[in-house]
């Protein structure tokens, strides 16, 4: 059996990676796509050879010949479209951040539970070989007791004030929601759950959302997490550093996967590059989970935890 996918929202990320990832997965088939703009919909469907096209998400979701819906629309659409898909009996894989706020995440989880369908969230960095290698090194106590994890990330785009990414009711916030969310998810994967969140933001002179956010989180283990995220800077690589009592790991760019391990014995460079299509392992995991009747690796409750931390950060910053 293959999973027949409908893809709602065929903009930037669908075009760059999601459609190709579905089409390259042996358990998946891309059978339907949706966006409201008809000429752009046709262009996308023609480019990827997708047989069914819809200008209304409800119509795609109601279509009987689908097993799963991939939601790649702006964040304010994630909750209503997930609930509609669940009620129509479709499994749902939703882009990050999962929703505008934790209350929406709860509604999505509960709708999918009630309908008996799977819910996954697209935090694909969880499948990066370099992240899995770091997890292994931490678990093997190669770094001793972990004291801190730090990440700096920036998107150079200068978003206009009417872009959904910088309107709070559409994107949920600014760089913290859009790019910080990915890194907080990696923090949770590597160091476990968080007890407290402190945050400060810098407002943008040009739009409603923040332009910069700096977070200091304290994990249940006692370790610190420091996250800095920006919009409108020069391109900032996806840098990660973990400091322990016996060692340090530095990754200059998670998307390249070179890892430097420093211990008292010296330095060791390892290379763990990600998949060519970063979404491919995510789609494969989700479709296999549906076929094997297991939970996807990045389930609704996993995705929601990042929304919880972001909410605490915005509350503290206020
Ligand atoms: N995992 C990752 O690395 C990345 C994830 N993302 C996430 O993916 C999502 C989409 O981002 P991105 O592709 O950059 O956004 P875009 O703005 O480029 O695309 C959004 C798409 O959604 C469509 N859309 C908007 N509203 C609706 C609606 N009500 N019904 C149906 N379609 C709709 C738009 O088309 P139209 O207006 O014609 O309807 C467009 O095709 C976001 O959640 C974002 O955070 C984005 C980039 C990378
Ligand atoms: O990783 C990413 C690349 O940039 C995009 C635009 O800011 C983000 O939405 C996305 O999560």
Question: What are the extents of the domains in the chain?
Answer: 3-123+278-299, 129-273
Q: Which residue has the tokens 């709602």?
A: 8
* CB-count exposure of residue 67 (10 Å: 0-12, 13-18, 19+): buried
Longest C-alpha distance within the chain, in Å?
Answer: 61
Query: What was the pLDDT predicted at 157?
Result: 94
Q: Which of ligand 1's atoms lies nearest the C-alpha of 44?
A: 41
Positions in the chain short of pLDDT 50? none
Q: Is 82 in the pocket of ligand 1 (CB under 6 A)?
A: no
Assessment of whether the complete model's pTM goes beyond 0.95: yes
Pocket test for ligand 2, best of 122, 178, 182, 232 (most atoms within 8 A of CB): 178
Angle at 66 between CA 54 and CA 44, to 5 degrees: 40
In the structure encoding, which two tokens stand for residue 226, read together?
A: 């420091």
Is the CB of 10 within 6 Å of ligand 1?
yes
Beta bridge partners of 231: 155
pLDDT at 237: 86
177 Cα nearest atom in ligand 1:
45
Q: Atom 2 (ligand 2): residue with closest C-alpha?
A: 179
pLDDT at 235: 81
Which pLDDT tens digit goes with each residue over 6-50? 999 999 999 999 999 999 999 999 999 999 999 999 999 999 999
Please report the pLDDT score of residue 234 as a whole number: 87
Contacts 24+ apart (CB under 8 A), 16-24: 17/277, 17/278, 17/279, 18/70, 18/72, 18/279, 18/283, 19/44, 19/48, 19/50, 20/48, 20/277, 21/277, 21/279, 21/280, 21/282, 21/283, 22/70, 22/283, 23/48, 24/277, 24/280
Nearest ligand to the CA of 235 is 2
CB 59 near ligand 1, within 6 Å:
no
CB 285 within 8 A of CB 193: no
Residues touching ligand 2 (Cβ under 6 Å) are 155, 178-179, 182
CATH fold of 3-123+278-299, please? Rossmann fold (3.40.50)
Which residue's C-alpha comes closest to atom 17 of ligand 1? 11
| Res 71: pLDDT | 99
User: Which ligand minimizes its atom distance to the CA of 72?
Assistant: 1
Residue with tokens 């089409």: 23
| CA–CA dist 241, 250 (Å, integer) | 5
Which of these CATH numbers, 3.30.360.10, 1.10.10.10, 3.40.1360.10, 3.40.640.10, describes 129-273? 3.30.360.10
DSSP labels, 17-34: IIHHHHHH-TTEEEEEEE
């Amino acid at each position: 059996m293959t999973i027949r996918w409908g893809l709602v929202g065929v903009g930037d990320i669908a075009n760059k990676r999601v459609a190709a990832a579905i089409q390259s997965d042996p358990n998946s088939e891309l059978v339907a796509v949706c966006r409201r703009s008809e000429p752009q919909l046709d262009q996308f469907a023609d480019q990827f050879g997708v047989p069914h096209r819809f200008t209304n998400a409800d119509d795609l979701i109601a279509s009987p010949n689908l097993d799963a819906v991939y939601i790649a629309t702006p964040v304010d659409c994630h909750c209503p479209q997930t609930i509609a898909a669940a009620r129509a009996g479709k499994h749902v894989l939703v882009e990050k951040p999962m929703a505008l706020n934790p209350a929406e995440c709860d509604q999505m989880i509960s709708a999918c539970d009630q309908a008996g369908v799977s819910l996954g969230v697209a935090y694909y960095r969880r499948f990066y070989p370099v992240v899995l290698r770091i997890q292994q090194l931490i678990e093997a106590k190669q770094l001793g007791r972990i004291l801190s994890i730090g990440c700096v990330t920036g998107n150079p785009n200068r978003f206009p004030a009417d872009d959904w990414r910088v309107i709070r009711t559409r994107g949920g916030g600014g760089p913290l929601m859009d790019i910080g969310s990915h890194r907080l998810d990696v923090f949770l994967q590597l160091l476990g759950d968080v007890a407290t969140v402190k945050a400060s933001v810098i407002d943008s002179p040009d739009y409603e959302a923040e332009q910069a956010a700096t977070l200091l989180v304290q994990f249940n283990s006692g370790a610190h997490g420091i996250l800095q995220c920006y919009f409108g800077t020069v391109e900032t690589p996806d840098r990660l550093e973990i400091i322990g009592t016996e060692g340090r790991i530095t990754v200059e760019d998670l998307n390249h996967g070179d890892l430097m391990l420093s211990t008292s014995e010296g330095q060791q460079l390892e290379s763990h590059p990600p998949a060519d299509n970063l979404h491919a392992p995510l789609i494969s995991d989700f479709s296999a989970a549906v076929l094997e009747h297991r939970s996807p690796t990045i389930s609704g409750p996993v995705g929601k935890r990042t929304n919880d931390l972001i909410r605490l950060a915005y509350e503290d910053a206020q």
